[in-house]
Amino acid sequence: MALGFVRPARPGDATDLARIQLETWRVAYRKLVPREILAALDADTLATHWRTAVLEPPGPRFRVLVAVEQGAEEHTVGFAAIGPADADEKVPDAGAFTELLVEPRWGRRGHGSRLLSAATAHWLDDGCTTALAWAFDQAPATINFLTSAGWEPDGARRALDMADVLVPQVRLHVSLGGDD
């Protein structure tokens, strides 16, 4: 396991967050997401989005966390965007990931687990009893990571319309403690 830590994102992290999102989506989802969607992803637009998410979150329970690898130099290698679950999820007191990414070349070094742990701590502080995450059902790395941490599919499914291609997703959940 690599040395690393998780901290709240800062506005200056926006370029790294965009880079991580672009690289991860283009590698991990290249067979799922239509090519024109991946080709249209723009680093500057994504950086603007992430800067806004850090500076002007929609509420106090929305956070962006970054994973940093320590070594001779520090590298931002992953991030998580978290908040309360959408009301249409119909799961009371639930937190949710809107994004959980570790750049592929930095994977399997404990960064995803550190992000998961930090997210869980925030959800518990916010009074959440359950956490939710949507994952592409044909992206086994995300599903395997979450299930190895105790998350389970809960039967909910949806498909995202991406350039007239329906990309199926499965929802996973985990109890954050207390009675199941």
Largest CA distance in the chain: 46
Q: What tens-digit pLDDT sequence spans the chain (180 residues)? A: 568 999 999 999 999 999 999 999 998 888 888 999 999 999 999 999 999 999 999 999 999 999 998 877 888 999 999 999 998 888 999 999 999 999 887 667 679 999 999 999 999 999 999 999 999 998 888 999 999 999 999 999 999 999 888 999 999 999 998 544
Assigned token pair, 113: 């687990």
Three-state secondary-structure class, residue 28: helix
State the number of CA atoms in the 13 A half-sphere of 139 facing the CB: 24
Please answer whether residues 169 and 161 qualify as being in contact, where contact means their C-beta atoms are separated by less than 8 angstroms. no
Q: In residues, how long is the chain?
A: 180
Three-state secondary-structure class, residue 173: strand
